[in-house]
Amino acid sequence: MEIPENCVVVIFGASGDLTKRKLVPALYALYLQNALPKKFAVLGVSRSLISDKDFQKRIVDDIRTYSSKKPINREKLKEFSKNFFYQSLDATNEDEYEILKKRLSELSKRAKSKENYLYYLSTSPTLFPMIAENLGKKGLQTENNRTGWKRIIVEKPFGRDLKSAQALNSRLQSYFQEDQIYRIDHYLGKETVQNIMAFRFANGIIEPLWNRNFISRVEVTAAESIGVEERGGYYDHYGVLRDMVQNHLLQVVGTIAMEPPAFFTATAVRNETVKVFQSLKPIKTSEVRKYVVRGQYNASKIRGKEVSGYREEKDVDPKSKTPTFVALKIFIDNFRWGDVPFYIRSGKRLPTRVTEVVIYFKKTPHHLFTGNGHPNIGCNQLIIRIQPDEGTLLKFGMKTPGAGFKIEDVSMDFHYSELYHAYIPEAYERLILDCMFGDATLYARIDAVEACWKFVDPILDAWQNRSNIKIYGYPAGTWGPKESLALFDYPDEDWRYPCKNLATEGEYCEL
């Protein structure tokens, strides 16, 4: 297996949630697979004062709590944690970056890394531009013949709107070149999102059907059963449209809707997805009521347990109008997708955690068996389950045995879990490794980020400035406000419900 060159990884925001829940476990998983460089060092950076030793102890605890790689191999874990170091730093103070520079040079010698540095910005987004600038002012971004590569991963959210995203980008680009900047969207690192491309472009039978001639509508759902947890302060400032749709879900739409790239390279793939984002039919401020429904969860009982409403959550404004649910009907104005509605929905405190895409194929042109089965017979569905129970399912009609011609829906399904060699890597494993290799295929390019903001901005603007646009309440544990049904064109259309309403019924979630 090819492994990346030795390097030093610098995590800004080392005491944050993402670091302990995702980044450190991802590095550990890569370490166990012998996928990391032969020699490497990870420098955790944040404000608090702690020693290298204490930081290493913390890493061990984090792995024990958050790694899915169980049972833990004590020896391996100890060995792994020895590669971690810590530097306390006020990220806003330029002078302190001298200390950082010195520390990096020591660690680089230790890891024989020739000054290959990967900076991971996992702090509050307000610090992103300042950190990039301070690194730049100390020359810590310079790549020349003498020094190694320097790459910077910028966590989401990349801005709050188009203007702020452009401002952030121009500050990053004052010091870093575009090919040094990796804008992370962890959905692109999900194995099952990448598999959409394989499914479409590695199978001769799929692509001919993948267009407006055969597909009547597409549905993308990202449901979460959790509420905002400890992130009320951040979330209340962003809301579901910025948190999930502008990035993750539009990227999924991009993968579903893109044209086949000529080559499988970062530039070719990203050239195709950006065209999808640029073809999104704008929803004008005046059309928001027609095409977008927003909601906010109310207090409820889930399986007998009281659950607070969004406005009662910690660090949330008690009069907040921030949506925790959104459903949209969007169109892609191009030859492949003209007039095919894409229904997108995402929310917190829904009945279960599930992310999936449903492709609805057109019905047969003539209904031979009407009257002998249910009315939707002939509407084939392809369900691509992104998580959990990852897999793909095709629904089609079959004659039930016996007299007459009664048709019923049956399924052909594939579950990743049935593959004997199935190990589905976490998105962050794939993405960190790709960055070490200098492969940006699964990272968002600035033109894509901008096009997605350009699409989302008028909706945010309408919500902010048009007082007649309602925010509907929905009981925690249900599928969001029933008003989202009004987005459909026909009375027999509805969302797919992979499980029932938790507030009232038991949970199940199957493909």
Choose the catalytic residue: 248, 367, 415, 421.
248
CA 474 to CA 325: how far, in whole Å? 9
Q: How far is the CB of 469 from ligand BG6 (least distance, A)?
A: 23
Q: Under rule CB under 6 A, which residues in 336-355 are in contact with ligand BG6?
A: 355
Q: How many Cβ atoms sit within 10 Å of the Cβ of residue 412?
A: 10
Binding mask 149-178 for ligand BG6 (x = CB under 6 A): -------x----------------------
In whole angstroms, the minimum distance from the beta carbon of 190 to ligand BG6 comes to 7
Nearer to ligand BG6, 183 or 395 (CB): 183
Residue 457 near ligand BG6 by CB under 6 A: no
How many whole angstroms separate alpha carbon 65 and alpha carbon 85? Answer: 20
| 415 classed as catalytic | no
> Least separation, in Å, of the C-beta of 239 and ligand BG6?
10
Q: How far is the CB of 258 from ligand BG6 (least distance, A)?
A: 21
Q: Which is nearer to ligand BG6, 13 or 341 (CB)?
A: 13
Containing H/E element for 283? none
Q: CA 63 to CA 75: how far, in whole Å?
A: 13
CA gap 77, 56 in Å, rounded: 10
Of 219, 243, 356, 450, the residue at the interface with ligand BG6 (CB under 6 A) is 243
Residues 301-330 that bind ligand BG6 (CB under 6 A): none
CA distances from 34 to 1, 29, 31, 375 (A): 9, 9, 5, 54
Cα–Cα distance, 78 to 76 (Å, whole number): 5
**How would you label 461-471 residue by residue, b for 16+ Cβ within 10 Å and e otherwise?**
ebbeeeeebeb
Which residue's CB is nearer to ligand BG6, number 150 or number 242?
242
User: Which residue number, 243 or 450, has a Cβ lying nearer to ligand BG6?
Assistant: 243
Kindly state the smallest distance separating residue 25's Cβ from ligand BG6, in Å: 13
Which CB sits closer to ligand BG6, 341 or 351?
351
CB 40 within 8 A of CB 81: no
Rule CB under 6 A: choose which of 115, 191, 219, 224 binds ligand BG6. Answer: 224
Q: What are phi and psi of 29, to 5 degrees?
A: -60, -40
- Structural element, H or E, at residue 346: strand 342-347
Residues acting as catalytic residues: 248
Q: Using CB under 6 A as the criterion, which residues of the chain lie in contact with ligand BG6 when the complex forms?
A: 156, 224, 243, 355
